[in-house]
Amino acid sequence: MNEYFKTLNLLPTSRVIKEMRKYAENNKVPIINDETLLFFLHLIDLMKPKKMLEIGTAIGFCAISIATYDGDILIDSIEKNETLFSLAVNNVRKAKLDDRINLFLGDAAELELEKLNPEYDIIFIDGAKAQYVNYFERYEKLLSEEGVIISDNLLFHGFVNNKKIIESRNLLHLVEKIEAYNSYLARNRNFDTKFFGIDDGIAISRRKK
Ligand SMILES: C[S@@+](CC[C@H](N)C(=O)[O-])C[C@H]1O[C@@H](n2cnc3c(N)ncnc32)[C@H](O)[C@@H]1O
């Protein structure tokens, strides 16, 4: 984020949030960027969502930041890595948000949908980038009528739409998958999607009426 705006924008904070930021930095755990989080908070102000689903909890930074900002929202979040899941459970407990943040250990590509809520106002896709189409098709069924799906990292560190700078075959494959997802969103006739160059690139998709 622009350094000047950083001094003007207030992000949710608490002792647990500060500890999580430090942990993520020291241990290279990817968490939501500040500007993307601000975009979320603004959306929350406008939408007043009741329920949100997050795919990819990591240590719970995004879920805890959002639930700290909005005292009413209920968040379900799925994480497949056991170590990160345990850290997230601990952080949610420390933040005293266990009554509003529900964590699920498992692969979002396989988790039984019956365990989740049928009507999410926001679904945040932030898991394995190569699986985004799969997540979208699986979870759009759980979106409320006015709900939105937010997808993160669609520019993937500037590699998307800039493949000539990629040297590794694995990275190339991943970037191609993200490009395919972006095209999938742009062409999806059931959803209207807007793409934003905020931080690592996000999209917001709303079901067409
Ligand atoms: C970018 S991090 C999530 C950061 C988190 N949303 C935040 O902003 O604080 C992505 C997480 O998704 C998890 N993940 C990847 N594939 C997954 C899957 N299929 N199901 C559940 N979690 C997954 C990874 O283990 C990782 O912790």
Find out whether 88 and 59 touch, Cβ atoms under 8 Å. yes
Give the closest residue (by CA) to ligand 1 atom 14: 127
Distance CA 200, CA 32 (A): 10
128 CA → ligand 1 middle, Å? 6
Distance CA 133, CA 104 (A): 21
Out of 21, 34, 82, 126, mutate this one to test ligand 1's pocket (max ligand atoms within 8 Å of CB): namely: 126
pLDDT digits (tens, 9 = 90+) for 147-167: 999 999 999 989 998 888 988
pTM listed for this prediction: 0.97
Q: Which residues of 39-61 are buried (b: 16+ CB within 10 A; e: fewer)?
A: bbbebbeeeebebbbbbbbbbbb
pLDDT digits (tens, 9 = 90+) for 14-46: 999 999 999 999 999 999 999 999 999 999 999
Pocket of ligand 1 (CB under 6 A): 30-32, 54-58, 61-62, 78-81, 84, 107-109, 126-128, 131
Report all structural domains of the chain as residue ranges with CATH numbers, in order of start: 3-207 (3.40.50.150)
pLDDT digits (tens, 9 = 90+) for 93-151: 999 999 999 999 999 999 999 999 999 999 999 999 999 999 999 999 999 999 999 99
